[in-house]
């Protein structure tokens, strides 16, 4: 079983103390994925593999330790933008921020693994769900659409407060956020509608995106009530004009899948760069290539995946690694981007 412990940690960069959760013990039962992700129960400990300082935004396995260059990197615009990037789940952003630090200091293998972990965090936002709660994720997609609309349209054109009033209607529909809706309307009525209020609205939307998985279903509106909202009509019109169709595709998780793809491509690039700098994470022939192939295949980069797969096979791998690479060739031929386990690759479990 998994045992967790809450501890006080002082951030080495800013000196702020915060509560962090560490994994004391865990276990695994079953086969790991081809990209090495462990089975349960260790699989579910992913959120505790990285610590986060709420004061300065430092992300690390242990925020009480840091390389000398970390402070400057954390203050950089690139780091802060990644930390708050709405295209990725909050957990993925934390792993990607750590990946940026490690890349900057030349630890490419570590940067690669952090990007892999970010992909896993993205994967966990669109698992297979029973049909009755599918609307739950449609709602989450819509909230991301509203957030993107406010951020992008707001930066380009500015936002009128009639639109913000429609956002308040969405908060009311979400039931637990009636107080936020009331505060928005009071601010507009009293002439306090300014950039600070817009920042708070965006903050609440990001909070919703990051924590939607933990909300009880009875806190959410019915789809029929939700889809009638005026703000969604405005967002849809804006998307049509901008030709931004990704959130309106038949796949309600398209944006999350794309986030995972970006993480996997970054991870593959970091591992390839590590290979160039003799920083391989394994000395076993073909082992590094077997992981890179899985990342590229699941990202839909079939030509490059096949090339790396052939490179791995030329190294005359043995045992499980050889089975995995041959299995990957079959999947690439089928243009299959699905997740598979080691047991499926070596034939212990039949794959479809």
| pLDDT over 50 at 197, yes or no | yes
Pick from 7-11, 112-116, 221-225: least confident:
221-225
% residues pLDDT > 90 (the chain): 54
| pLDDT over 90 at 19, yes or no | yes
Q: How many residues does the chain have?
A: 352
Instruction: Encode pLDDT of 284-295 as tens digits.
Output: 999 999 999 999
Q: What is the pTM of this model?
A: 0.67
Pick from 4-18, 65-79, 195-209: least confident:
195-209
Instruction: Encode pLDDT of 215-232 as tens digits.
Output: 666 667 776 777 788 888
**What is the pLDDT, as a whole number, of residue 253?**
66
**What is the pLDDT, as a whole number, of residue 216?**
66
**What is the pLDDT, as a whole number, of residue 267?**
98
Token output for 137? 């994720």
**What is the pLDDT, as a whole number, of residue 132?**
40
What average pLDDT does the chain have? Answer: 86
**What is the pLDDT, as a whole number, of residue 77?**
95
State the pLDDT confidence band at 166, using cuts at 50, 70 and 90: confident
The pLDDT of 255-271, averaged and rounded, is 93
- The more confidently predicted of residues 295 and 208 is 295
Q: What are phi and psi of 75, to 5 degrees?
A: -80, -15
Instruction: Encode pLDDT of 124-140 as tens digits.
Output: 886 533 334 445 556 77
Distance CA 137, CA 205 (A): 15
Q: Are 104 and 78 in contact (CB under 8 A)?
A: no
The pLDDT of 311-323, averaged and rounded, is 95
Instruction: Encode pLDDT of 40-96 as tens digits.
Output: 989 999 999 999 999 999 999 999 999 999 999 999 999 999 999 989 999 999 999
| pLDDT over 60 at 158, yes or no | yes
- The more confidently predicted of residues 351 and 42 is 42
- The more confidently predicted of residues 123 and 152 is 123
**What is the pLDDT, as a whole number, of residue 130?**
34
| pLDDT over 50 at 248, yes or no | no
Highest mean pLDDT among 68-82, 144-158, 193-207, 235-249: 68-82
């Amino acid at each position: 079983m998994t045992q967790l412990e809450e501890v006080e940690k002082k951030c080495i960069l800013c000196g702020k103390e915060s509560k962090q959760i560490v994994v004391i013990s865990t276990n695994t039962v079953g086969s790991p994925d081809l990209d090495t992700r462990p089975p349960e129960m260790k699989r579910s400990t992913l959120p505790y593999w990285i610590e986060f300082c709420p004061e300065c935004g430092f992300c690390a396995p242990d925020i009480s330790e840091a390389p000398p260059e970390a402070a400057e990197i954390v203050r950089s615009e690139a780091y802060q933008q990644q930390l708050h990037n709405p295209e990725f789940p909050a957990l993925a952003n934390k792993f990607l921020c750590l990946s940026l630090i490690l890349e900057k200091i030349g630890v490419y293998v570590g940067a690669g693994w952090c990007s892999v972990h970010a992909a896993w965090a993205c994967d966990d936002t669109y698992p297979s769900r029973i049909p009755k709660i599918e609307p739950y994720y449609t709602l989450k997609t819509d909230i991301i659409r509203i957030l993107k609309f406010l951020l992008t349209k707001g930066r380009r054109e500015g936002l009128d407060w009639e639109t913000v009033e429609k956002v308040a209607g969405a908060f009311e529909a979400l039931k637990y956020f009636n107080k936020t809706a009331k505060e928005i309307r009071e601010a507009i009525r009293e002439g306090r509608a300014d950039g600070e209020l817009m920042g708070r609205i965006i903050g609440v939307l990001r909070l919703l995106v990051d924590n939607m998985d933990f909300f009880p279903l009875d806190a959410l509106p019915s789809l029929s009530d939700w889809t009638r909202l005026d703000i969604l009509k405005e967002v849809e019109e804006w998307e049509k004009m901008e030709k931004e169709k990704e959130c309106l595709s038949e796949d309600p998780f398209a944006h999350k899948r794309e986030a995972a793809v970006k993480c996997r491509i970054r991870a593959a690039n970091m591992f390839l760069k590590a290979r160039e700098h003799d920083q391989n994470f394994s000395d076993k022939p073909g082992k590094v290539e077997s992981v890179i192939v899985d990342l590229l295949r699941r990202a839909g980069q079939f030509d490059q995946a096949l090339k790396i797969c052939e490179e791995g096979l030329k190294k005359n791998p043995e045992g499980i690694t050889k089975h995995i690479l041959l299995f990957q060739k079959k999947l690439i031929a089928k243009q299959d981007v699905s997740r598979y386990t080691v047991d499926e690759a070596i034939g212990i479990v039949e794959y479809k």
